[in-house]
Chains A and B, each alone.
Chain A
Amino acid sequence: SQQGEEDPQALSIQEGENATMNCSYKTSINNLQWYRQNSGRGLVHLILIRSNEREKHSGRLRVTLDTSKKSSSLLITASRAADTASYFCATKMNYGQNFVFGPGTRLSVLP
């Protein structure tokens, strides 16, 4: 079973609105990362939040982490059509070297 699960699976909003995506995971983590993937392309790293951090900002992105609930959220403010993509959370556990990805949220921003 997957470590991370994003919610919702798909999200459609108007340009200028905010988009919120959630990620839940099952075991203790070292850090959690969010990636974006445009159709047919590779993944682009957006932001990393460590297990001892609760919130991080990067431009229009805001990520929160609640380790007690084993969940994270990604907020994109003032969305643009160019934000249309799939968004994945990836967890790095305290053991091992790999990252475990969830199934992703497909975001559509309508002009």
Chain B
Amino acid sequence: DAGVTQSPTHLIKTRGQQVTLRCSPKSGHDTVSWYQQALGQGPQFIFQYYEEEERQRGNFPDRFSGHQFPNYSSELNVNALLLGDSALYLCASSLKAGGQPQHFGDGTRLSIL
């Protein structure tokens, strides 16, 4: 039973570039949430996707956008990258919006130079 998988594991970009991160939810899950975790901090909620729609959004600018596909996988896109976007980006899946507990992937480590 495959858990949550994220790709790539590491990524290096420069300021101003755009990045796309990918997530496949745990088998049987239909909801995907994205979190940003700065070094030494707790995860911060970015947004949640359910039934291919953004259901809830945290306090992140419009540079952060996402998408959910019919197979429940999801992408996180970040435009106009800033140095402060350097972080571990975590994807979590659950069954139905608000379902719990959430199952997390190992994340994508994004470094902005």
A residues whose Cβ falls under 8 Å from a Cβ of B: 2, 4, 31, 33, 35, 40-45, 48, 88, 92, 96-104
Alpha-carbon separation in the docked complex, A104 to B40 (Å): 8
Q: Is B68 an interface residue (CB 8 A)?
A: no
Name B residues whose Cβ lies closer than 8 Å to a Cβ of A.
Answer: 4, 33, 35, 40-45, 48, 50, 55-56, 58, 90, 92, 97-98, 100-107, 109
Contact of A98 among B4, B48, B103 (CB under 8 A): B48
Chain A residue nearest in CB terms to B101: A45
Complex contacts, B98 vs chain A, CB 8 Å: 92, 97
Nearest-Cβ distance from residue A65 to partner chain B, whole angstroms: 15
Q: Which residues of A contact B90 (CB under 8 A)?
A: 42-43
- From known contacts A48-B100, A98-B45, infer whether A41 and B55 are also in contact, taking CB-CB under 8 Å: no
